């Protein structure tokens, strides 16, 4: 049955990069702002529509909807129940009666104006045209003996024609105490399309109006017993109630704040609920067994008077097919408030379905099926797999930010947060972290938090409504459209402007893309981004990005952490300043720079450029020495001001360079000699440790040849096309101690080193030759032409995306590409298989094996960006396309080719990726750069 989206809501009466501003409160494009603040949002991933709810006084715009196809808000709150209401909450559900209801549905609540927040106990429903508006009866609490109206709704969630509402106890005015509970309402529609909406008795499933009791004193659900408590923070008067319905698991997760009693028995702050398919009543179960709880289990702990709070909750269904509970949790005894990922049992026939899984148990049929029952089986706050964003290693201006979250979005393999920061919370930004996997598909760790998802300042030069101030960068609400790659933003200075991040080639003067296009009008062929987690770059306050064109390389200083209290995220905005932007040149003219790198992990470092004329190294122009990372500073100071690009002295490095990659321990380079028709390609390794200059680092004696085309194990292999580093050390190992192996994409399959990691050996980093490298075919696809490997910017690489053409002949005019995903970790013996060909969560109708030829791939874990060569186009043209990870939900059956003038110009794309902490995605073209901003 085709699914239809329903919108649920609760209403309460009473300078750099720019997003497209969505007009509001009228038809005139100059009337951009709503006249009152936005208080809630919802996003429909099927239609790409963004829905907002307003504060009291919004009139017919109290609920408004906009889409990317028609970027203007349309009012849908014409009914008197809504025109003078404050919308507190918005969420989505499904309407199964597709034949009678052609419009999406909205659901919410209305109170007399000027009442206090969360005191409303009525829910309404309306369609997206505002033509049908129906109010429910006042919702009762869970009192068994006397039906009594609840003291108000604190959270709502929507499911298949069902609404869940967390209602407060009528006496204590709290949720989680007394007779508080979960009210259940059903949505029905007649053959004529008329809607009805009514509560049920959630305990029996029959006719009635009674909530299912949720009380932390219930030891069967929460352990303990506990008592309800509320934890204050800088943004909220009290900790919120978390309510989340997951369509795939068919479970409702409830999180609240609670405190253990003096006995100190094991207790928990989250429960799972389901609807009995036969009776229709709500069934609640604990999130885990008390026998599994020890100390600091995130949503469970032991100890007298301990405080826990599950403040936000969502479910992630990873690209590897596993389910994780994503929670914002506060653990008082460790004084931590962070985002965590907890594995969930995925077995609908088991009573443990949706409970916390045993993190140590092997997967069954590719999913978690063993629940945690004993100590040591639940994740703790120190597990790398549980710590979203690697909170121990983030820039100082992002420290302790988790208490200041304004919105959280979980999609694909990524968690996005909008946060406020700075000394006085005067700035804000959207940050994200992406899951990295073990070979079996379980999460191994997360990429560091980075401000890369949305522009740091989405409204440059624009005075906020009714103020004289420009946008601080704060975001109140946002949504990620993983189909188009765009983001919706509601600014938090006034909460009245809504923007849509989209592609453009028109830029603010002196911004980074504007400045790059002044120097790269003949093409920008390569890029390198060195964010705060790049090895040893973190010893100073600066982030850098490099860009390569025709014999031209630009340095950009994108972030100065020392500015984090005077600029959003310490982001640099003025690239006309020579301290922030530097143009350099090779000694030879008209040489395309096809690869850029940085030698991390040493006290003597270099920037590296690969070209058709050989390998160039940026070092001191007189001595050839590199630099200490701590010395990197302004671009008009040393070591930049006295540096130059110098050709590597080794003859092997004066050949054409196919690719350069650097790890903590080594530099790996693919070289190509067109004059050698037999052994054209070499993969070489260089260890810069202990070396002091270009002359003793990049000489013939320091080169180790790990592989040669058409020789020994690679007999019959014509070309080496790409390589990537993959780490396989223990999860707690630091990057510079992590063993590494090399994945090599060739004309005859993909290969992986199996170099020794015993004792102090670090895999391919210590391999001296092909024998030491111990190359193994990665899998059975030894006749496929692998032309590339997608990677992401993270200090420890576990997950990569190889792609290959469907024919071993690279000259065919009708080739298709196949994109794959694979991961490596300490658990990998032998090399892992590819993830299922679709590598999408759950079951997907979409396959990634009939794509146009891929020339480049990059992802942030939710949005997959491709550069395709389109077979129907001229051979020198390419296109950028997006495919989301969550294709089952969005029923994607083909890539979304970005339909934008900035993208559709006749030309060629070379790369696409996030750059720095600017919050933008850049794409290199044959005439410069374009940007998603």
b/e sequence 159-189, b meaning 16+ C-beta within 10 Å = bbbbbbbbbbbbeebbbbbbbbbbbbbebeb
Range of 133-137, 444-448, 642-646 with top mean pLDDT:
642-646
Helix%, strand%, coil% for the chain, nearest 5: 10, 40, 50
* 930 vs 390, more confident: 930
Classify residue 653: in a domain, yes or no: yes
346 has pLDDT over 70: yes
Range of 40-44, 291-295, 592-596, 861-865 with top mean pLDDT:
592-596
774 has pLDDT over 50: yes
Average pLDDT over residues 870-886: 71
Tens of pLDDT, residue by residue over 608-645, are: 999 999 999 999 999 999 988 888 889 999 999 999 99
> Residue 101 burial by CB count (10 A; 0-12/13-18/19+): exposed, middle or buried?
buried
524 pLDDT tier (thresholds 50, 70, 90): very high
Classify residue 864: in a domain, yes or no: yes
401 pLDDT tier (thresholds 50, 70, 90): low
Classify residue 170: in a domain, yes or no: yes
Q: State yes or no: cis peptide before 830, omega within 30 of 0.
A: yes
Average pLDDT over residues 170-198: 86
Classify residue 51: in a domain, yes or no: yes
1 pLDDT tier (thresholds 50, 70, 90): very low
b/e sequence 504-523, b meaning 16+ C-beta within 10 Å = bbebbebbbbbbbbebbeeb
The total of structural domains in the chain comes to 2
Domain boundary among 155, 174, 205: 205
Q: What is the pLDDT of residue 474?
A: 84
Q: How far apart are CA 113 and CA 502, in angstroms?
A: 38
498 has pLDDT over 70: yes
Classify residue 891: in a domain, yes or no: yes
* 449 vs 27, more confident: 449
Q: How far apart are CA 520 and CA 420, in angstroms?
A: 35
Is there a contact between 164 and 243 (Cβ–Cβ < 8 Å)? Answer: yes
* 311 vs 98, more confident: 311
11 has pLDDT over 70: no
Q: How far apart are CA 789 and CA 820, in angstroms?
A: 9
CA distances in angstroms from 448 to 391, 530, 538, 561, listed in the order given: 7, 13, 12, 16
HEC readout, 78-107: CCHHHHCEEEEEEEEEECCCCCCCCCCEEE
Classify residue 811: in a domain, yes or no: yes
3-state secondary structure of 568: helix
359 has pLDDT over 70: yes
CA distances in angstroms from 804 to 760, 816, 857, listed in the order given: 35, 8, 12
* 217 vs 549, more confident: 549
3-state secondary structure of 712: helix
204 pLDDT tier (thresholds 50, 70, 90): very high
Domain boundary among 205, 230, 256: 205
Tens of pLDDT, residue by residue over 24-65, are: 765 555 568 899 999 889 898 888 889 998 888 888 898 899
Residues in the chain: 933
Q: How far apart are CA 732 and CA 623, in angstroms?
A: 39
* 892 vs 749, more confident: 749
What CATH number does residue 872 fall under? 2.130.10.10
Q: What is the pLDDT of residue 358?
A: 97
Lowest mean pLDDT among 300-309, 591-600, 872-881, 913-922: 872-881
Q: Is the dihedral of CA 821, 824, 828, 831 positive or negative?
A: positive
User: Smallest Cα–Cα separation from 391: which of 335, 332, 307, 308?
Assistant: 335
Is there a contact between 164 and 245 (Cβ–Cβ < 8 Å)? Answer: yes
Tens of pLDDT, residue by residue over 680-703, are: 999 999 998 888 899 999 999 999
Average pLDDT over residues 596-608: 86
Share of the chain above pLDDT 90, in %: 41
* 829 vs 477, more confident: 477
Lowest mean pLDDT among 106-120, 472-486, 580-594: 106-120
- For 578-643, give the DSSP string: TTTEEEEE-SSSS-BEEEEEE--SSSSB-EEEEETTEEEEEEETTT-B-B-GGG---TTSTTTTTE
Looking at residue 694, what DSSP letter applies?
H
Is there a contact between 627 and 639 (Cβ–Cβ < 8 Å)? Answer: yes
Average pLDDT over residues 319-346: 88
568 pLDDT tier (thresholds 50, 70, 90): low
Looking at residue 891, what DSSP letter applies?
T
793 pLDDT tier (thresholds 50, 70, 90): confident
3-state secondary structure of 291: helix
**Which residue range forms the structural domain that includes residue 853?**
512-932
Q: What is the pLDDT of residue 736?
A: 67
Q: What is the pLDDT of residue 811?
A: 46
Q: State yes or no: cis peptide before 679, omega within 30 of 0.
A: no
Is there a contact between 336 and 386 (Cβ–Cβ < 8 Å)? Answer: no
Determine how β-strand 105-108 pairs with β-strand 5-13.
parallel
Average pLDDT over residues 581-607: 90
> Residue 219 burial by CB count (10 A; 0-12/13-18/19+): exposed, middle or buried?
middle
Classify residue 467: in a domain, yes or no: no
Q: What is the pLDDT of residue 192?
A: 75
Lowest mean pLDDT among 237-246, 253-262, 528-537, 748-757: 528-537
Q: What is the pLDDT of residue 806?
A: 74
Q: What is the pLDDT of residue 289?
A: 96
Q: How far apart are the first and last CA of the chain?
A: 37
533 pLDDT tier (thresholds 50, 70, 90): low
Average pLDDT of the chain is 82
Q: Which helix (H) or strand (E) holds 13?
A: strand 5-13
Q: What is the pLDDT of residue 312?
A: 92
Per DSSP (E only), the strands in 635-739 are 643-647, 656-662, 667-672, 681-686, 703-708, 720-727
Across the strands, what pairs with 419?
405, 429
Q: What is the pLDDT of residue 13?
A: 38
Domain boundary among 186, 205, 224: 205
Tell me the Ramachandran region of residue 496: left when phi exceeds 0, alpha when psi lies from -120 to 50, beta otherwise: alpha
Average pLDDT over residues 902-913: 80
Tens of pLDDT, residue by residue over 800-812, are: 999 888 754 444 4
Report angle CA 369, 373, 376 to the nearest 5 degrees: 105
Q: How far is CA 709 from the centre of its chain?
A: 38
Classify residue 431: in a domain, yes or no: no
Q: State yes or no: cis peptide before 225, omega within 30 of 0.
A: yes
């Amino acid at each position: 049955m085709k699914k239809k989206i329903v919108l649920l809501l609760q209403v309460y009466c009473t300078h750099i990069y720019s997003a497209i501003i969505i007009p509001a409160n009228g038809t005139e494009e100059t009337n951009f702002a709503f006249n009152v603040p936005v208080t809630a949002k919802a996003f429909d991933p099927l239609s790409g529509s963004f829905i907002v709810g307003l504060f009291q006084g919004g009139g017919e715009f109290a609920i408004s909807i906009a889409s990317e196809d028609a970027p203007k808000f349309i009012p849908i709150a014409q009914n008197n129940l809504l025109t003078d209401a404050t919308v507190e909450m918005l969420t989505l559900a499904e309407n199964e009666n597709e034949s009678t209801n052609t419009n999406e549905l909205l659901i919410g609540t209305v109170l007399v104006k000027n009442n206090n927040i969360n005191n409303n106990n009525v829910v309404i429903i309306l369609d997206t045209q505002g033509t049908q508006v129906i109010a429910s009866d006042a919702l009762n609490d869970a009192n068994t003996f006397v039906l009594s109206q609840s003291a108000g709704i604190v959270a709502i969630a929507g499911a298949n024609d069902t609404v869940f509402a967390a209602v407060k106890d009528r006496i204590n005015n709290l949720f989680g105490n007394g007779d508080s509970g979960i009210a259940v309402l059903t949505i029905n529609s007649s053959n004529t399309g008329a809607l009805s909406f009514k509560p049920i008795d959630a305990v029996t499933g029959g006719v009635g109006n009674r909530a299912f009791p949720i009380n932390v004193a219930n030891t069967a659900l929460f352990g303990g017993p506990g008592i309800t408590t509320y934890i204050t923070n800088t943004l909220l008067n009290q900790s919120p109630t978390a309510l989340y319905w997951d369509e795939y698991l068919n479970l409702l997760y409830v999180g609240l704040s609670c405190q253990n009693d003096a006995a100190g028995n094991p207790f928990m702050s989250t429960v799972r609920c389901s609807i009995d398919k036969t009776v229709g009543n709500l069934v609640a179960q604990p999130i885990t067994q008390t026998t599994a709880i020890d100390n600091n289990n995130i949503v469970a702990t032991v100890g007298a008077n301990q405080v826990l709070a599950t403040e936000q909750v969502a479910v992630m269904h990873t690209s590897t097919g596993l389910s994780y509970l994503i929670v914002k949790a506060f653990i008082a005894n460790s004084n931590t408030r962070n985002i965590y990922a907890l594995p969930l049992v995925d077995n609908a026939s088991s009573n443990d379905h949706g409970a916390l899984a045993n993190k140590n148990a092997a997967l069954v049929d590719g999913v978690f099926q063993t629940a945690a029952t004993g100590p040591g089986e639940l994740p703790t706050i120190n597990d790398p797999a549980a710590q979203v964003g690697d909170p121990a290693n983030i820039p100082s201006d992002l420290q302790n930010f988790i208490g200041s979250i304004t919105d959280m979005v979980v999609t694909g393999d990524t968690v996005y947060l909008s946060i406020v920061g700075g000394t006085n919370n005067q700035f804000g930004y959207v940050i994200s972290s992406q899951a990295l996997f073990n070979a079996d598909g379980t999460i191994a760790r997360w990429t560091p938090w980075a401000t890369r998802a949305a522009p740091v300042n989405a409204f440059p030069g624009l005075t906020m409504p009714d103020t004289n101030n420009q946008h601080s960068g704060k975001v109140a609400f946002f949504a990620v459209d993983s189909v188009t790659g765009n983001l919706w933003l509601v600014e938090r200075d006034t909460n009245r402007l809504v923007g849509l991040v989209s592609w453009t080639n028109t830029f603010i003067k002196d911004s980074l893309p504007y400045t790059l296009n002044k120097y790269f009008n003949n093409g920008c062929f390569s890029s390198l981004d060195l964010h705060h987690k790049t090895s040893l770059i973190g010893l100073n306050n600066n982030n850098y990005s490099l860009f390569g064109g025709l014999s031209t390389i630009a340095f950009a200083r994108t972030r100065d952490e020392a500015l984090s209290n005077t600029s959003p995220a310490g982001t640099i905005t003025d690239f006309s300043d020579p301290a922030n932007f530097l143009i350099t040149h090779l000694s030879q003219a008209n040489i395309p720079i096809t690869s850029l790198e940085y030698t991390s992990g040493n006290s003597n470092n270099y920037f590296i450029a690969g070209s058709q004329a050989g390998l160039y190294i940026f070092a001191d122009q007189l001595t050839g020495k590199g630099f200490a990372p701590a010395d990197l500073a302004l671009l008009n100071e040393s070591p930049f001001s006295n540096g130059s690009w110098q050709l590597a002295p080794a003859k092997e490095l004066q050949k054409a360079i196919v690719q350069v990659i650097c790890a903590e321990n080594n530099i790996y380079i693919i070289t190509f000699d067109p004059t050698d028709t037999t052994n054209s390609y070499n993969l070489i390794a260089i260890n810069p440790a202990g070396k002091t200059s270009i002359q003793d680092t990049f000489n013939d004696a320091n080169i180790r040849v790990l592989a040669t085309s058409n020789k020994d194990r690679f007999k019959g292999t014509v070309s080496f096309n790409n390589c990537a580093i993959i780490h396989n050390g223990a999860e707690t190992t630091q990057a510079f101690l992590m063993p590494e192996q090399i994945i090599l994409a060739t004309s005859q399959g993909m290969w992986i080193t199996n170099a020794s990691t015993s004792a102090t050996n670090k895999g391919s980093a210590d391999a001296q030759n092909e024998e030491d490298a111990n190359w193994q075919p990665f899998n059975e696809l030894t006749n496929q032409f692998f032309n590339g490997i997608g990677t992401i910017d993270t200090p420890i690489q576990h997950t990569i995306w190889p792609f290959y053409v469907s024919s071993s002949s690279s000259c065919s005019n009708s080739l298709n590409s196949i994109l794959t995903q694979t991961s490596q970790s300490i658990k990998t013996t032998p090399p892992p298989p590819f993830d299922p060909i679709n590598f999408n969560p759950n079951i997907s109708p979409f396959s990634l094996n009939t794509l146009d030829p891929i020339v480049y791939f990059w992802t942030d874990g939710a949005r997959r960006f491709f550069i395709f060569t389109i077979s129907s186009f001229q051979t020198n043209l390419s296109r950028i396309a997006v495919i989301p990870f969550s294709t089952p939900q969005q029923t994607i059956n083909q890539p979304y080719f970005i339909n934008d003038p900035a993208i559709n110009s006749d030309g060629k794309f070379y790369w696409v990726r996030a750059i720095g902490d600017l919050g933008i995605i850049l794409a290199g073209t044959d005439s410069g750069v374009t940007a998603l901003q």
